[in-house]
Amino acid sequence: MNDKSLSESWMNAARDEPVRNVLEAVYEYAAEAIAQRGPVCNASGKCCRFEEYGHRLYVTGLEAAYTVCQLTNEHPALTQSALQQAISDGGCPFQIDNLCAVHPLRPMGCRVYFCDPIAQGWQEDLSEKLLQQIRSLHTDNDIEYRYGEWRTMLGLFLD
């Protein structure tokens, strides 16, 4: 399947209410598990400045499609120029003034990543558990599974 067909199939899946409901349930489970741990987020924006802080954000195609198809006028548009600027700057195209402009729509990797040192051990285990649930969502719904770098995956949805 070529990238255009693949991105269209992910968008169709992300618009499908039962698929979307399961993905949102995984995100809700993540929120509850994270709340029990109580990591601190000081809104430094480090999590979105990938090159500067030496980490990468990886997502599934379905997660990227979910974010893209949920964008509204309240969120910044995903454009080729915004994506290229983010890549050039080493960060996320949705970071504005150290904050996530798509916070409710963000993928699993963003939801479980915290700069807080107390989060470093358990966040990896939680991430693996939740990623397995997302992978099962792909399998159960015959959605092709691909896991890739956030900005690269977002680029698949641009013409």
* Pair of tokens at residue 2: 């070529």
d(CA 138, CA 66): 13
What is the full per-residue pLDDT of the chain (159 aa) written as tens digits? 788 899 999 999 999 999 999 999 999 999 998 888 877 777 777 777 777 777 888 999 999 999 999 998 878 789 999 999 999 998 889 888 888 889 889 999 888 776 666 667 777 888 899 999 999 999 999 999 999 999 999 999 997
d(CA 44, CA 35): 19
Residue with tokens 């030496």: 54
What's the number of domains the chain is made of? 1
Dihedral angle computed from the Cα positions of residues 121, 91, 150 and 68, in that order, rounded to the nearest 10 degrees: 120
Provide the pLDDT for residue 97.
85
Provide the pLDDT for residue 6.
92
Provide the pLDDT for residue 69.
93
Residue with tokens 């997660």: 63
Query: Residue 84 belongs to what domain range?
Result: 3-155
* Pair of tokens at residue 135: 């992978």
CA 48, 51, 55, 61 dihedral sign is positive
Residue with tokens 């092709």: 144
